[in-house]
């Protein structure tokens, strides 16, 4: 790759995460002519081309032979086959980036040529609107420059943290899967409004604005969530009565157990591929 330019990027897999990354990388300055996506499902390939104006290729091998960075955005179970397809075509300097949950850098390194730089990324779907939270970690042959190159490509996805690989399962459980927990709670709060007699559209608007406002307040003040919760809770008032019920129904324990289950599933996904 030419220093200071994002270089040529190939993306294998044009699904939910592949598309989120394509959009963000174009915004980060990758030239539309330097981005190619390989997606076997014809309808999805057409969707990617028309939505982003990028070329769709039918062969992962061809894509791999012409890029500086190869992003693997396929499901963990499809990785072995994809790596088999691209192995011989990859230039030794090409950085291989994977967003697959669970699967460690060593898995790729074992299947690719010696010293192939591998970078793992765990993004999340709010990357689609530039509000994502991602973590990256480097494989055995990825240098700080490779990591920086990938961070530059991800710059428009939102927050990007660098973590040691041992923390990637925890990241997956908190921010990778996290948007689903938030949507679950958002839906529950809107449903509560309907239970109490509000029209559904108003209940949904109020619940959504409450989530957005609460997060904005925490970010702007930098105060601990407990302090902000206490500020809502007037003595003898409605909030303390409500929060007591969240405790009685084990909502906090449920969130912790959910994250543990995601962490465990991430480990299983890695074991299933080996």
Ligand X SMILES: NC(=O)C1=CN([C@@H]2O[C@H](COP(=O)(O)OP(=O)(O)OC[C@H]3O[C@@H](n4cnc5c(N)ncnc54)[C@H](OP(=O)(O)O)[C@@H]3O)[C@@H](O)[C@H]2O)C=CC1
Ligand Y SMILES: O=C(O)[C@@H]1CCC=N1
The set of residues, in sequence order, having a beta carbon less than 8 Å from that of 29 and lying 6+ positions away, is 5, 6
Nearer to ligand X, 95 or 173 (CB): 173
The packing angle between helices 251-273 and 238-248, to 10°, is: 40
* Binding flag, residue 172, ligand Y (CB under 6 A): yes
Could you give the CA distance from residue 67 to residue 38 in angstroms, rounded to a whole number? Answer: 12
Binder of ligand X out of 5, 46, 50, 81 (CB under 6 A) = 81
Question: Binding to ligand X (CB under 6 A): which residues in 151-210?
Answer: 176
- By a kind-dependent CB cut-off of 5 to 8 A, residue 139 interacts, out of ligand X, ligand Y, none, with none
β-pairing, 118-122 with 132-138? Answer: antiparallel
Closest by CA position to 18, among listed 121, 118, 93, 88: 121
Taking CB under 6 A as the binding criterion, the range among 6-14, 152-160, 207-215, 240-248 that sits at the site for ligand X is 6-14
Spatial distance between the Cα atoms of 79 and 99, rounded to a whole number of angstroms: 11
Binding-site annotation, residues for NADP(+): 12-17, 73-76
Which residues from 72-101 bind ligand Y, rule CB under 6 A? 101
Nearer to ligand Y, 183 or 250 (CB): 183
Return the residue of 22, 132, 176, 204 that touches ligand Y, per CB under 6 A. 176
User: Three-state DSSP class for 3?
Assistant: coil
Asked if 32 and 26 count as a contact pair (C-beta separation under 8 A), the reply is: yes
69 touches 153 (CB < 8 A): yes
Which residue, judged by CB position, is nearest to ligand X in the bound state?
Answer: 15
**123 interacts with, out of ligand Y, ligand X, none, CB within 5 to 8 A per kind:** ligand X
Binds ligand X (CB under 6 A): choice among 7, 10, 18, 178? 18
Residue 15 interacting with ligand X (CB under 6 A): yes
Binding interface with ligand Y (CB under 6 A): 101, 172, 176-177
């Amino acid at each position: 790759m030419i220093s200071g330019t994002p270089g040529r990027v190939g993306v294998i897999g044009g699904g939910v995460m592949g598309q989120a990354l394509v959009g963000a990388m174009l915004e980060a300055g990758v030239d539309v002519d330097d981005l190619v996506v390989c997606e076997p499902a014809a309808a999805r390939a057409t969707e990617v081309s028309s939505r982003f104006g990028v070329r769709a290729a039918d062969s992962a091998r061809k894509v791999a032979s012409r890029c500086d960075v190869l992003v693997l955005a396929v499901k963990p179970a499809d990785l072995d086959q994809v790596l088999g397809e691209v192995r011989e075509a990859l230039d030794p300097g090409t950085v291989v980036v994977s967003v697959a949950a669970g699967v460690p850098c060593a898995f790729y390194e074992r299947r690719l040529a010696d010293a192939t730089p591998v970078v793992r990324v765990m993004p999340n779907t709010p990357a689609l609107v530039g509000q994502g939270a991602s973590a990256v970690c480097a494989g055995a042959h990825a240098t700080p420059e490779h990591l920086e190159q990938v961070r530059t490509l991800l710059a428009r996805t939102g927050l990007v943290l660098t973590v040691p690989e041992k923390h990637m399962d925890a990241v997956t459980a908190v921010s990778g899967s996290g948007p689903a927990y938030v949507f679950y709670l958002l839906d529950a709060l809107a449903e509560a409004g309907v239970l109490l007699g509000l029209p559904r559209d108003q209940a949904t608007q109020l619940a959504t604005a409450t989530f957005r406002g609460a997060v904005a307040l925490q970010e702007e003040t930098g105060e601990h969530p407990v302090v902000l919760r206490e500020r809502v809770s007037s003595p003898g008032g409605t909030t303390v009565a409500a929060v007591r019920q969240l405790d009685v129904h084990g909502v906090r324990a449920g969130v912790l157990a959910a994250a543990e289950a995601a962490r465990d599933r991430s480990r299983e996904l890695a074991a299933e591929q080996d």
